Chains A and B, each alone.
Chain A
Amino acid sequence: MPTLYYLYLSFALFFIGTAGVLLRRNALIVLMAIELQLNAGNLALLAFSRSLGDLKGHVFAFFVIALAAAEAAVGLAILVGMYRTRQTINLDEVATMKR
Chain B
Amino acid sequence: MTLANLPSFRHLVPENILVLGILALVGLSLARRPASRRLAGAIAFLACLAALAATALTAESQPRVLFHGLLARDLFGDFFKYLGLVTTAFVILVAQRSRDAIDYRNEDREAPEFYALLLSAALAVNLMAAASDLLTAYVGLELVSVMSYILAGFTPGSRRSAEAALKYVVYGGVASGAMLYGMSLLYGLAASTDLATIGRAAATAPALPVLFAAVLCLAGFGFKIAVVPFHMWCPDVYEGAPTPVTAFLSVAPKAGGFALLLRVFGQISGHAQGLADRSPWLLVLLVVAATTMTWGNLAALGQQNLKRLLAYSSIAQAGYVLLGVAAGGVAGQEAVLFYLAVYLFISLAAFTAVAAVADSGGGESVAEYAGLGYRMPLVAFVLSVALFALTGLPPTAGFIGKYYLFAALIERGHNGGGAAFYIVAVAAVLNSVVSLYYYARVLRAMYIDSASATHQTVAVAAVHRVVLVALTVPTILLGVYWSPLRDLVHAAVGTW
Main SS of the interface on chain A?
helix
B173 and A78 contacting across the interface, CB-CB below 8 Å? no
Which residue on chain A has the smallest CB distance to residue B191? Answer: A52
Question: Which residues of chain A come closer than 8 Å to B338, judged between CB atoms?
Answer: none
Inter-subunit contact B146/A17 (CB<8 Å)? no
Within 8 A of B (CB), among A22-62: 27, 30-31, 34, 37-38, 40-42, 44-45, 47-49, 52, 54, 56-57, 59-60
Contact A81 B163 (CB under 8 A): no
Q: Mark A56-72, 1 if CB is under 8 A from B, else 0.
A: 11011001100100110
Which B112-141 residues have a C-beta within 8 angstroms of A? 134-135, 138-139
Instruction: Name the residue of chain A whose CB is nearest to the CB of B304.
Output: A98
| Residues of the A chain whose Cβ atoms lie less than 8 Å from the Cβ of B162 | 78, 81-82, 85-86
Question: Roughly how many angstroms separate A44 CA and B180 CA in the complex, as a whole number?
Answer: 10
* C-alpha gap A60/B136 in the complex (Å): 9
Separation in Å of the B141 CB from the closest CB of chain A? 10
Query: Across the interface, do A94 and B239 meet the contact criterion of CB distance under 8 Å?
Result: no
Are A96's CB and B163's CB within 8 A?
Answer: yes
Closest residue of B by beta carbon distance from A43 = B184
Q: Is B169 on the interface with A (CB-CB < 8 A)? A: yes
Give Cα distance in the complex from A60 to B480, angstroms. 48
Q: Is the CB of B191 within 8 A of A37?
A: no
Tell me if B383 is interfacial: C-beta within 8 Å of chain A: no
Could you tell me if B177 and A97 are in contact, using CB atoms closer than 8 angstroms? no
Pick the contact of B166: A27, A34, A40 (CB < 8 A).
A27
Q: A53–B271 Cα gap in the complex (Å)?
A: 27
Of the stretches B5-13, B149-157, B221-229, B470-478, the one at the interface is: B149-157
- With A78-B149, A81-B153 as known contacts, state yes or no: A48 contacts B180, CB within 8 Å: no
Closest to A60 in B: B135
Distance in angstroms from B27 CB to nearest chain A CB is 21
Q: Does B165 contact A (CB under 8 A)?
A: yes
Q: Give A78 to B176 CA distance when docked, in angstroms.
A: 18
- Please judge, given known A-B contacts A27-B170, A67-B142, whether A78 and B165 are in contact too, CB under 8 Å: yes
Given the complex of chains A and B, what is the CA–CA distance between A7 and B153 in angstroms? Answer: 37
In the complex, A38→B177 CA distance in Å?
A: 5
Please tell me if the beta carbons of A41 and B193 are within 8 angstroms of each other in the complex.
Answer: no
Interface residues on A, range: 35 or more
Residue B188 at the chain A interface, CB threshold 8 Å: yes
Of the four ranges (under 10, 10 to 19, 20 to 34, 35 or more), the interface on chain B belongs to: 35 or more
> Within 8 Å of chain B (Cβ to Cβ): is A95?
yes
* Closest chain B residue to A47, Cβ basis: B188
| Interface: B110 (CB within 8 A) | no
- Distance, CA A17 to CA B174, complexed state (A): 9
A74 touches B (CB below 8 Å):
yes
Contact of B173 among A34, A42, A82, A98 (CB under 8 A): A34
- Identify which of residues 265-312 in chain B touch chain A, using a CB-to-CB cut-off of 8 Å: 304-305, 308
A78 pairs with B153, CB closer than 8 A = yes
- In the complex, the answer to whether B166 meets A78 with C-beta atoms within 8 Å is yes
Assembled-state Cα–Cα distance A34/B64 (Å): 36
The winner among B178, B183, B192 for most chain A CB atoms within 10 A is: B178
B79 shortest CB reach to chain A, Å: 26
B100 within 8 A of A: no
B-side contacts of A54, CB under 8 Å: 191-192
A51 and chain B: residue at smallest CB distance:
B188
Q: Does B481 contact A (CB under 8 A)?
A: no
The reply to whether B135 and A75 form a contact with Cβ atoms under 8 Å apart is: no
Residues of A within 8 A of B104 (CB): none
Query: Is A91 positioned at the interface, with any CB of B under 8 Å from its CB?
Result: yes
Query: Pick the contact of A37 from B142, B146, B174, B236 — CB < 8 Å?
Result: B174
A-B contact pairs, 23 of them (CB 8 A): A18-B174, A21-B170, A37-B173, A37-B174, A37-B177, A38-B180, A40-B177, A40-B181, A41-B180, A42-B184, A52-B191, A56-B135, A60-B134, A67-B138, A78-B166, A78-B169, A79-B166, A82-B163, A86-B162, A95-B236, A96-B160, A97-B236, A98-B304
Given A54-B191, A57-B187, 4 further pairs, Cβ under 8 A:
A71-B145, A97-B160, A98-B308, A99-B235
Closest 6 CB pairs of A and B: A37-B177, A41-B180, A48-B188, A34-B173, A44-B184, A45-B184
